[in-house]
Structure 1
Amino acid sequence: MQVLRGFPAQAHDACVLTIGNFDGLHRGHQALLQLLTDKAREMRLPAAVMTFEPHPREYFSPADAPARLASLREKLLLLAAGGVDRVHVCRFDARFAALSADSFIQDGLIRGLNVRHLFVGDDFRFGARRSGDFEMLLNTGRANGFGVESMPTLIIEGERASSSAVRAALADGDLDHAACLLGRPYSIAGRVVHGDKLGRQLGFPTANVQLKHRRPALSGVFAVGVEGLDDQRLPGVANIGIRPTATDAAQARLEVHLLDRRVDCYGAHLRIHFLKKLRDEQKFASLDALKHQIAQDADAARVWLSLHQTRLLG
Structure 2
Amino acid sequence: MKVLLLHRQSFGAIAAHVRDLKGALKQRGYDADIVDATEWMPLPTGRKTDKAVSERLKKLCEPYDLVHAFGYRCAWACGVAIGYGEAWVYSAIDMPKTTHRLLIDKLNCAQFGICSSYAVRKVLDEAMALDLVMIPPGVPDPPSPPPTKAEARAQFDIPEGAKLLVGMSRWVSESGLTALIDALPQVAAEHPDVLLAIAGEGPMADELASRARSVDSERVRILGCVADPLTLLSASDLVIVPESRSGFSRVACEAMALSRAVLLRHGGGLPEMVDPEISGFLFASDELLGSRIVELLGLPITLETVGSAARIRVLDRYHIDQCADRIVDTYRSVLED
Q: Taking structure 1 as the reference length, what is the TM-score of the superposition?
A: 0.39
More strand by share: 1
The TM-score, its normalising length taken from structure 2, stands at 0.37
From the two aligned structures, give the one with the greater helix fraction.
2
- Who wins on radius of gyration, i.e. which is larger? 1
